[in-house]
Amino acid sequence: MPLKFVFKTSFATTTVKRFVLLELRSEGISGWGECVAEEGPFYGPESTGTAEHVLGEFLIPLVLRRNLDAPQEFPALAEKIRGNRMAKAAVETALFDLFARAKGESLSRAIGGTRDAVDVGVSLGLAPTVEATVENVRKHVAQGYKRIKLKIEPGADVDRLAAVRAEFPSITLTVDANAAYTLADSAHLETLDAFRLDYIEQPLSHEDLVDHAVLAKRLATPLCLDESIRSAADAEAALELGACRIINIKQGRVGGIPEARRIHDVARAANVPVWCGGMLETGIGRATNLALAALPGFTLPGDTSASARYFADDITEPFVLAADGTMAVPDGPGIGVTPLHDRLQDTTVRIETFTL
């Protein structure tokens, strides 16, 4: 699916979204799971190719013709398979959707969501110039997003922030470096304190906690971790070390909804706000994310922006931004949306069917 914009981060440039979509069928009901792995292993270690392999060879056989009483039984089945969290999350979210649909209950309700709409922000990729950055901010502030997040990298940070802050002194502004800096950049990162950011997301290595804790002590701006938090155990360690004061939760990155929920609970017990991240999902993954973001600890605007920001035509009915900067949490059965038949046909490159 072509993206409406070039999404440049410190690690990659995305113009087309290619992904694995999983449909699990049982007793006449379909559950849908979008695998958030990207084409290349640059955000995290997984890619669409590794996900296809692990799904086909290891994960799907675990659930084929097996009677499960609840989606919560899946993690124990998949326990022997290390890592591959995005592939696992695809199966698990499809199972959650399937079970919630079978009960005629919304996924959000099924997992303990307490909100019917969530605050929404937007994540803006690296633009070629300072002026193009400001223009992009202008456009999305006008659309009503509650928080603007700018991708940054060394050489494309202070200049952009200064220009954005000059025009928008009071918007909620954050940055995401996707691990582009090192501790050697600490003095430089300290200068970002001047821009009154709500947080700096993942400035240092994608697997690091300790250096983030060292950096955090030098900055007034809170750190938010994304890539480094793969599990509730990571979240506990990060908070214990003082590596972050905010957590970005993505169900795909952490292996599914129960682990996302555990991270939410760890953070909540420590009074640490969380927000729901995004992986340029189609309507399927977006619906799953919205259900998760309805949990009570998700108190900051997330990256679950409107479908129209990403795609001319989504594969589901589009998600829209309400005038008050919120997005409705689907209340229909399961994730509340289904792929539109024609859109699915138009966008599908290859279908693989697994039966016993």
User: Would you name the residues annotated as active-site residues?
Assistant: 151, 250
Q: Tell which residue, 179, 195, 165, has the closest CA to residue 248.
A: 179
Nearer to ligand SMG, 203 or 334 (CB): 203
Candidate list 1, 8, 9, 290; residue touching ligand SMG; CB under 6 A: 9
Piece of the chain touching ligand SMG by CB under 6 A; list 90-98, 102-110, 132-140, 271-279? 271-279
226 binds ligand SMG (CB under 6 A): yes
The span from the CA of 95 to the CA of 30, in Å, is 9
Contact code string over 108-147 relative to ligand SMG, x by CB under 6 A: ---------------x------------------------
Q: How far is the CB of 324 from ligand SMG (least distance, A)?
A: 20
198 binds Mg ion (CB under 5 A): no
311 binds ligand SMG (CB under 6 A): no
255 binds ligand SMG (CB under 6 A): no
Residues 249 and 274 sit within 8 Å (Cβ to Cβ): yes
List of residues 6+ apart from 63 with CB closer than 8 A: 24, 74, 77, 91, 95
The span from the CA of 74 to the CA of 91, in Å, is 8
Q: How far is the CB of 57 from ligand SMG (least distance, A)?
A: 26
The span from the CA of 97 to the CA of 109, in Å, is 12
A 10 A CB-CB count for 236 gives: 17
Which residues in 85-104 contact ligand SMG (CB under 6 A)? none
277 binds ligand SMG (CB under 6 A): yes
Q: Tell which residue, 280, 10, 264, has the closest CA to residue 151.
A: 10
Candidate list 38, 92, 176, 198; residue touching Mg ion; CB under 5 A: 176
Size of the residue set binding ligand SMG (CB under 6 A) = 15
Q: How far is the CB of 176 from ligand SMG (least distance, A)?
A: 5
Map tokens 């087309």 to a residue. 16
Burial class (CB in 10 A: 0-12, 13-18, 19+), 269: exposed
305 binds ligand SMG (CB under 6 A): yes
199 binds ligand SMG (CB under 6 A): no
Burial class (CB in 10 A: 0-12, 13-18, 19+), 289: buried
Which residues in 12-31 contact ligand SMG (CB under 6 A)? 14
Size of the residue set binding Mg ion (CB under 5 A) = 3
Which of the 8 DSSP states describes residue 319?
P
Nearer to Mg ion, 34 or 176 (CB): 176
Q: What are phi and psi of 67, to 5 degrees?
A: -85, 115
Positions touching ligand SMG (CB under 6 A) are 7, 9, 14, 38, 43, 123, 176, 178, 226, 277-280, 303, 305
Residues that bind Mg ion (CB under 5 A): 176, 201, 226
